[in-house]
Amino acid sequence: MAEPLELLDLDRDALGELIESLGQPSFRARQVWRQIYQRGNVDPLEMTDLPAALREQLSEMTTPSREPLEVQTSSDGSTSKALLPLADGELIETVLIRSRPRDTVCLSSQAGCAMGCVFCATGLQGLRRQLTAGEILRQGVLARQWARDEGRELTHVVFMGMGEPLANYSNVSEAISRLTDPDGFGLSPRRITVSTVGIPQNIRRLASDHPTVNLAVSLHAPDQKLRRELVPVPGASVDDIVSAVREHNRQTGGRVTFEYVLLNGVNDSRAHARRLAERIRGIRAHVNLIPLNPSPGVVGSRPSRRATLGFQKALQERGVPATVRVEQGSDIAAACGQLRGDRVRGNA
């Protein structure tokens, strides 16, 4: 028996070929596409504008719709987190952030993560596997339905969940293409942000393939020695990453965000801020400061409010726009660096 298909893994051409192989006219593929990406129906049996026989055929051929194993909502109602099962039993987490007039979904791109940032719970698992484009998109479909059920609309997408998006470039790129397809999700690329720890060659590819998508780079340190202590994966240096960002900046003309997790007594001094400002001088950029969100097993502690504001002020005095991220969802472990995707395994 053939392996079941994931409809969201099929691009337009592949979907058209599937429908043609079932002896159906080509317009049926367009109907299926609209059902998935505009109406959010991933279960063929719910695609009521299709003939009943075709619905049955597609249902027998495709993977069943998988509901979240668990959904948690923060005490203030601003953030919900879903624990999603994948076909092979892997688990990922997806977060919906409500902040009127925005509704933002935080997508995972990998099960686990290989980057090993010492302050991030996801990296404690290592990389289990890449997510397919369909598995990424299914998170968006789910989040949009949550929003619509509440009388709202999904407006923004951020690739800031589990995993390193640019280490799964082809699938993330395909997901972006369908998120921005006018006949797909129909989102403006300016409402999509890809966050990376820094893979220079793929920062350059992103600028070429998706020049109006927003780039966020998790730098976390102004120099290579300190960064290697915080992000111990071998590879690109701070110089290489900043150079790639400068190229991205010149090619796209867009403003880049540098994300910087502050750890008490490690990288949060005014001297660190001054070196960071010097490092990124000349780049059209904004620095998003993130006081550490504690999680079991991660290294470091949260800096004082005074230290955080002092770091921000030191950047601003040197002409670098900087803000402190508004924390949402930390009470359900849905904030930056807290996603794990293994809670039902008893590993949290």
> Could you give the angle at the alpha carbon of 80 between the alpha carbons of 74 and 84, nearest 5°?
135
Gyration radius from the chain CA atoms: 21
Contacts for 37 with CB less than 8 Å, ≥ 6 apart = 141, 178, 181, 183, 184, 185, 186
Residue by residue, DSSP assigns 159-185 as: E-SSS-GGGGHHHHHHHHHHHS-TTTT
Catalytic-labelled residue, pool 70, 90, 93, 153: 93
Q: CA-to-CA distance for 255 and 128, rounded, in angstroms?
A: 33
Q: How many CB atoms lie within 10 A of CB 303?
A: 23
Active-site residue identified among 113, 117, 120, 336:
336
State how far the Cα of 47 lies from the Cα of 26, in Å rounded to an integer: 16
Supply 167's token pair: 């280490």
93 is annotated as an active-site residue: yes
CA distances (Å), origin 37, targets 105, 117, 153, 166? 15, 34, 14, 24
Of 218, 220, 196, 191, give the one whose Cα is nearest residue 206.
196
The identity of residue 8, as a single letter, is L
> Rounded CA gap, 348 and 346, in Å?
6
E strands in 235-298: 256-262, 285-291
Which residues are within 8 A (CB) of 291 and not within 5 positions of it... i.e. 6 or more apart?
Answer: 261, 262, 302, 303, 308, 324, 325, 327
Identify whether 336 is a catalytic site residue. Answer: yes
Beta bridge partners of 194: 159, 215
Q: Mind telling me the catalytic residues?
A: 93, 336
